[in-house]
Structure 1
Amino acid sequence: MAASRKEEMHEMIERLDRELEEWVESRPKRKPDKDAWTPDNWEEEMKKHPAFCSEPPEDVDNAEKYPAWAALQAIKYDEGDTPEEKALQFKDEGNHYFKMKLYKKATIAYTLGLQQKCEKPEVNAILLTNRAAAHFHLGNNRTSLSDVTKAKELKPDHVKALNRGALCCMELKQFANAVTWCDELLRLTPEDKNIQQLRAKADKLKRSQEKDRRKAQAQEKKQKAQHNRLLQAIKSRGIQLQMPDNADSSDEDDVAESMDRLQLASLEASFPSTGAKVYLDENGCLVWPVMFMYPEYMETDFIQEFHEESRLADHLDAMFGSQRAPWDVEGKYKPDSIEVYFEETSKSKLHKVTLETTLKDILSDSRYRVLAGTPSFILLPKACRFTEEYLRKAADVAVS
Structure 2
Amino acid sequence: MVDAFLSPTDGLGYNMAAPAPTLDPAPTSEARQYGPARPPVLSQVDEPTAQDLSQLPLFMSSLDDVPEGTNDAIEALKALAYEGEPHEIAENFRQQGNESYRSKYWKDAIEYYTKALAVGCSVDEIDGACYVNRAACNLELRNYRRTNLDCAEALKINPQNIKALYRSARACLALDKIPEAEDCVERGLAIDQNNKPLKTLQETIYARKGVLAGLQQASHERERLSKAKEAALRRALETRHVIQRTTSTRPPNLPDDAVVQLQDPMDPESSLCFPVIVLYPLHLQSDFIKSLPEDETIYSQLEEMLSPSNLPEWDKETEYAYPAVEVLVEKKKYNMHGKPSLSKIGVKASLKKVLNEGKLELINGILTVFVVPKPRLQEFVQSWKRENPN
**Global fold match (TM > 0.5):** yes
The residue aligned with 2:384 is: 394
- Number of aligned positions between the proteins: 336
Aligned equivalents of 1:276 and 1:147: distance in 2? 52
The residue aligned with 2:259 is: 277
Q: CA deviation at 1:354?
A: 1.6
Aligned equivalents of 1:203 and 1:55: distance in 2? 44
The residue aligned with 1:293 is: 279
Q: CA deviation at 1:298?
A: 4.4
Q: 1:238 to 1:113 in 2, by over 3 A?
A: farther
Aligned equivalents of 1:149 and 1:304: distance in 2? 58
The residue aligned with 2:17 is: none
Aligned equivalents of 1:272 and 1:121: distance in 2? 64
2:311 to 308, 325, 344: 325
Aligned equivalents of 2:108 and 2:223: distance in 1? 46
The residue aligned with 2:194 is: 191
1:76 to 78, 81, 89: 81
1:145 to 136, 148, 155: 148
> Is the contact between residue 176 and residue 202 of structure 1 (CA under 8 Å) also seen in structure 2?
no
1:132 to 130, 135, 139: 135
Q: Partner letter of residue 232 of structure 2? A: R
Q: Which runs of 4+ in 1 moved over 6 A?
A: 44-49, 344-348
SS at match of 1:362: helix
Name the % identity. 24
SS at match of 2:167: helix
Q: Partner letter of residue 373 of structure 2? A: P
Q: Partner letter of residue 277 of structure 1? A: V
> Is the contact between residue 328 and residue 342 of structure 2 (CA under 8 Å) also seen in structure 1?
yes
SS at match of 2:205: helix
> Is the contact between residue 350 and residue 396 of structure 1 (CA under 8 Å) also seen in structure 2?
no
> Is the contact between residue 308 and residue 322 of structure 2 (CA under 8 Å) also seen in structure 1?
no
The residue aligned with 1:363 is: 355
- What are the ranges of 5 or more consecutive residues in structure 2 without an aligned counterpart? 1-37
> Is the contact between residue 344 and residue 350 of structure 1 (CA under 8 Å) also seen in structure 2?
yes
Q: 1:47 to 1:315 in 2, by over 3 A?
A: closer
SS at match of 2:323: helix
SS at match of 1:244: coil
Q: CA deviation at 1:231?
A: 1.8
Aligned equivalents of 2:205 and 2:331: distance in 1? 60
Q: CA deviation at 1:122?
A: 4.8
- What are the ranges of 5 or more consecutive residues in structure 1 without an aligned counterpart? 1-30, 247-265
SS at match of 1:272: coil
SS at match of 1:301: strand
After superposition, what is the alpha-carbon deviation per residue over 1:234-288, rounded to whole angstroms, capped at 9, x for unaligned? 2343323332328xxxxxxxxxxxxxxxxxxx8x997234x23212234333221
Q: 1:382 to 1:187 in 2, by over 3 A?
A: same
> Is the contact between residue 117 and residue 130 of structure 2 (CA under 8 Å) also seen in structure 1?
yes
1:379 to 365, 371, 375: 371
The residue aligned with 1:354 is: 345
> Is the contact between residue 86 and residue 113 of structure 1 (CA under 8 Å) also seen in structure 2?
yes
Aligned equivalents of 1:228 and 1:242: distance in 2? 17
The residue aligned with 1:212 is: 215
Q: 1:365 to 1:145 in 2, by over 3 A?
A: farther
How does the TM-score come out when normalised to structure 2? 0.69
Q: 1:48 to 1:351 in 2, by over 3 A?
A: closer
Aligned equivalents of 1:294 and 1:392: distance in 2? 15
After superposition, what is the alpha-carbon deviation per residue over 1:293-335, rounded to whole angstroms, capped at 9, x for unaligned? 2234444332222122322233233434574324344332244
> Is the contact between residue 244 and residue 361 of structure 2 (CA under 8 Å) also seen in structure 1?
yes
Is the aligned partner of 1:314 residue 2:317?
no
After superposition, what is the alpha-carbon deviation per residue over 1:91-141, rounded to whole angstroms, capped at 9, x for unaligned? 344334434444334334433444445545554433332222222222322
| Higher CA-based Rg | 2
